[in-house]
Structure 1
Amino acid sequence: MSYTTYSFADVAAVIAHPAVGQFVATGAGLGSISTTMATDRSAHDVAADGTVMVSKIKGRNGSITISAQQTSDLNKWLLKLYNYLEQAPTSEWVRTTITIRASLMQDLIRATGVSFQKLPDKPYQAQGQQVSWVLMAADIDQTVA
């Protein structure tokens, strides 16, 4: 019998900026992390006679969405980073990096040139909620660790 296992507890994310420091997210206040690639890596052009020209596109940009409990230290740290970057010189805007490791699956994702898309929506209601931070990345490298 063959089987595989998965646990979000095996996933760790490190968000870092040289001027602000780093936050290691290993579960406390973290709801989910997802990576989305933005650029198609291949395109086909079809000529009138049906000949297909295939283009390989090197773009590895995309986004990482981090959902955190609205009262968590992770949410507070992301807001602190955002507020620093709002006031900092433009050259600081894309110096954030994110590293995600899922040790059980041997996944390693490194994102560089990371910047905030916008502040997350802010819910207020009877029950506490999660907020979703969307961070855009100029380069996302996904490898097997």
Structure 2
Amino acid sequence: MAHSTYSFTDITATLSHPSYGSYSLNGDGTGDMTVSKATDRTVHDVAADGHIMVSKVAGNNGSVVINAQQSSGLHNWLQGLFNYLVGASTKEWAHLTMNINSPVMHKTYVCTGGAFVKEPDEPFQAQGQRVAWTILFADIQKLPM
């Protein structure tokens, strides 16, 4: 019987900004990550007579949401980068990159042109929580390994 296995610890990711530096993570303080594409690749236009025109749309933009433990080094690094970029020149804003590698699943994502959506909400409770950092990327390429 065939089976497969998965572990988040097999996934590595590196966030980089040319003026701020890099942060590599392998689970440390990361609750989860989600890569989402934003562009619908097919669009239908319906004419008055019911004729359908199908359009193939280019675009690899999307987002990565990183849920980090609020006391983690990852959250602190992202907060520091956000604070740096808010005060930096506009030309610094969308230069964040992220590479995500999952050798067990044979997947690699290369994300470029990244910028934060906003400073995330941060919960304060009796128990530590996760903070969701959403980064929009102008280009997300899923590459074969």
Aligned counterparts of 1:111 and 1:28: Cα–Cα separation in 2: 20
For 1:5, give the aligned amino acid: T
1:26 and 2:26 aligned: yes
Q: Separation in 2 of the partners of 1:49 and 1:20?
A: 56
- Residue 60 of structure 1, CA deviation: 1.1
**Within the alignment, does 1:10 sit opposite 2:22 as a pair?**
no
Q: Please give the residue correspondences for 1:1-145 in structure 2 after superposition, counting only pairs within 5 Å.
A: 1-145=1-145
Query: How many Å apart are 1:103 and its aligned residue?
Result: 1.0
Identity of aligned residues (%): 47
Amino acid at match of 2:30: L
Shift of 1:59: 1.4
Write the distance in 2 (CA, Å) between the matches of 1:45 and 1:82. Answer: 40
In the TM superposition, residue 35 of structure 1 has moved relative to its aligned partner by 0.9
Gap regions ≥5 residues in structure 2:
none
Tell me the distance in 1 between the aligned counterparts of 2:48 and 2:136: 38
**Residue type of the alignment partner of 2:21:** G
CA RMSD of aligned residues (A): 1.0
Please list every run of at least 4 consecutive aligned residues from structure 1 whose deviation after the TM superposition is greater than 4 angstroms: none
Deviation at 1:48, TM superposition (A): 3.5
AA aligned to 1:128 is G
Q: For residue 47 of structure 1, report the CA deviation from its aligned partner.
A: 2.6
Alignment partner of 1:50: what SS? coil
Matched AA of 1:57: V
Q: Which runs of 5+ in 1 are unaligned?
A: none
- Count how many residue pairs are aligned between Structure 1 and Structure 2: 145
In structure 1, how many angstroms separate the alpha carbons of the residues matched to 2:117 and 2:23?
A: 19
What TM-score, normalized by structure 2, do the two folds share?
Answer: 0.96
Structure 1 counterpart SS, 2:104: helix
In 1, Cα distance between equivalents of 2:141 and 2:47: 33
Report the Cα distance in structure 1 between the residues aligned to 2:46 and 2:87, rounded to whole angstroms. 48
Counterpart Cα distance in 2 of 1:17 and 1:117:
16
How far residue 115 of structure 1 moved from its aligned partner, in angstroms, is 0.1
Q: Distance in 2 between matches of 1:68 and 1:50?
A: 48
